Amino acid sequence: MSSKIETILQSLTLEEKISLLAGKDFWETVPIPGKGVPAIKTSDGPNGARGEVFSGGTRAACFPAAVCSAATFDPEFSKRIGGALAEETKTKSARVLLAPTMCNHRHPLGGRNFESFSEDPYLAGKMAANVVKGLQENGIAATIKHFAANEQETDRLAVDTIVSERALREIYLKPFEITIKEANPLAVMTAYNKLNGTHADSHTFLLKQVLRGEWGWEGLVMSDWGGVNSTADSLNAGLDLEMPGPTRWRTVEAVTEAVQKGEITEATITERAKNVLNLIEKVGGFENPEIPPEQSIVDPKHSKLIREAAGQGITLLKNDDNILPLKKEAVKGKKIGLFGLAKEALIHGGGSASLNAHYRVSPEEGLKAAYGDDVEFKYSKGAHTYRLLPPLAKSCKDAKGNAGWTMELFKPGQTDKAIKTTNELKDSSFSPILDNEAKDKEVRFSATFTPTESGSHYLGCSGIGPTVVTVNDKVVFEQKDNSPDPMGFLLGGNPEKEFTVSFTKGESYKIQIHTKPPVGGTDWGILAGLPGFRMGFMTQQEHDVDLVIQAKEVAKECDIAIVFTGHTPAWETEGQDQLSFHLPRDGSQDKLVETIASVNSRTIVVNSTGVAVALPWLSKVSALVQAWFPGQEAGNAIADIISGAVNPSGRLPVSWPKRIEDAPAYGNFPGEVKDGQLTVKYEEGVFVGYRHYDRVAKEKVQFPFGFGLSYSTFAISNSKVSRTSAEAFSATAALKNTGNVAGSTVVQLYVGRKHQSPEHPIKTLAAFKKVFLQPGQEQTVELSLALKDFAYFDEASKSWKVDRGQYDFSFGQSTADIESVVTLDLEGSRELKL
């Protein structure tokens, strides 16, 4: 503790110390001007510094999602991205970035998998540690999240995750441990969920024993937004900062009373306040307390990095007869059909990772820029991919006769007199997350709608709380209960039940939407008392048109067809797990691919998701490119791969099952409800991802962990492993580019027992290195690893061990492509000091 912090602490009253332990507002800490304590600002998020507005705010750079970054298998890119994120964070006047997200990919339907790196804790830890290094070397505090075992969105505020200590240590805590020890992040964010019966924000084992005790970490622990569930327990366990503010649990009165009752000591309050002050000091808050307005600055260096990183992460999964790359000279004068989501830049998922990007390059734009006038492009959408009907905006007039809607706010139960009226609102949606005036109020939206065509029209509606829609005073929709996931509602992921209403062209209709705050929502944290709704609208002609017929005709006349599939942010988002292993909506994308492939033998699919999805049409297409969510340069990066300007080198950071039933957590996701409590049991233990698939029939795996194709070929040979100390090893292997194109591959080193045991994975990733080679070039690749990289946690002795015996050191380019094995006799270690 610096002398400055010590002096400030001594000057603070108990009440002032308590005031520091929760946020001032949604993003800032509490200042104490009279004692020289400034506020500092935080910002989301993992793939870009969004700033303080959730939707449509200050523009920001959108970097590749973490899963795309992990697919590079290149920690240096992560460090460079961290450095660029630091510069972006400064443009938003923030000093703390709420990133990286580093929870494990436990199940393919996890809603936030895209925001995290991998199913493998070693890969995730190495990538995350380098993001942290890049951020903090440039003066911005990293906040690693969500600590811990936060692998699903279903009932995420209350779900109880039941996991063994061994699985917790080896899989779910390991990325955090690597990052803590290698990069020393200045902040850690706790998870929403319970872990083995206790909420993460008050989990003594996680925060005291492991994080601050065994790992010796001394930074600041903050809650997820609205993720505090107690006063005394969270303070005693080690949660320094409740976010956001104003506080719900840490009022001066509540904490003072707890001190007086002996539930908390003043020394604990002082310790928590010290950690807040330390963070302020480490990010330069005392030196420069100013928080200027946010800025939007397009940095060409960042744009170049985003394109480069995306190109290195995009993963080629199938390439029959080397249909790719489509070299410019080879396709000159050809017709190329673009289908599906070609006009949409799927650059990020939904929720905390979403932002208002500086720009977004669609695949169509990227390809047209790459090929110019040498190629004729034809486009047909071919599939409905929306999740929510678009809000009703056109042909609506407010109470004053102007275009738009009228909003009225009422005191609860007093809807005869509005306390506030606003006109000319653009559409039929209301999201009041930052509007304190709407808190604990009823809201009514109304408009006079004049349809432009007759017949049935489709509507869809949902609210945070009870919501009713009337047309000419007749109820056409009623939601009597609260939203099943209020945060999911705000982030655009809640499903809406569609219904039809008949309208006659030219007639006027009075439409009203009346919504109330959530019933009994006092425990909803930041959403308590907030009303909100959205109503979508689509004409029958738009809704029922068979888009695939038109696409089929276009595909027939094209020389090559490229179908763009994937998840928009509404389908893959924070707040809700995936609805299905199949691409949305209602099989339309799968049908599109099948149809195009049936009439065009040269069909290429480019898929943009953060997770594995079902591929029922895989055998019928010539090529498959997994583009992930590659950031604002998406279209250019995809075009680089398609055209051959960049040789693909991405490798899967997740295993890709053929069926969801083959996933290791199947049957234990998202859990079971008993007595009102959702509980999810991690019955698969340590056998997550490839640790599971290594033990099952190969035909259950579509693509193995670490897999990815190149426009060249590579071979590994002459591998050697030697011991350099009691706990460390040096490994080498010869890598040769056996093709005729310069490119990169990833040398992956796995370690496992020669004589397999049902209690342990067959092999575990212990080292990796990405290497670039010219055609015919051969290079000796050096890897370093240690016993701790493949040790297991022994629950009986509460220690890390490597048992005595023979171990295979397997060198390969995926878990299923092992090219060289070295076997060593190891004496083992009874207890490792990690």
Alpha-carbon gap, residue 526 to 244, rounded angstroms = 7
Short-list 134, 146, 127, CA closest to 44: 146
What single-letter DSSP state applies at residue 712?
S
Short-list 20, 18, 91, CA closest to 59: 91
**Token code pair at residue 158:** 């209350």
Q: Which residues pair with 784 in a beta bridge?
A: 730
Q: In angstroms, how far is the first alpha carbon of the chain from the final one?
A: 26
What's the half-sphere exposure (Cβ side, CA atoms, 13 Å) at 775? 6
| CB 568 within 8 Å of CB 346 | yes
For 421-434, the DSSP string reads EEEEE-SSEE--TT
Confirm whether 789 is a catalytic residue.
Answer: no
Short-list 722, 723, 748, CA closest to 735: 748
Phi first, then psi: what are they for 254, rounded to 5°? -65, -45
Phi first, then psi: what are they for 28, rounded to 5°? -110, 155
Short-list 684, 683, 704, CA closest to 694: 704
What's the angle, vertex CA 479, arms to CA 478 and CA 481, rounded to 5? Answer: 150
Helix axes 634-643 and 300-313, enclosed angle (nearest 10): 50
**Token code pair at residue 608:** 């943009």
Alpha-carbon gap, residue 257 to 240, rounded angstroms = 18
Alpha-carbon gap, residue 575 to 493, rounded angstroms = 7
| CB 604 within 8 Å of CB 623 | yes
> For residue 803, which amino acid is it?
D
| CB 49 within 8 Å of CB 91 | yes
Alpha-carbon gap, residue 121 to 312, rounded angstroms = 21
Out of 201, 224, 398, 485, which one is annotated catalytic?
224
Active-site residues: which are they? 224
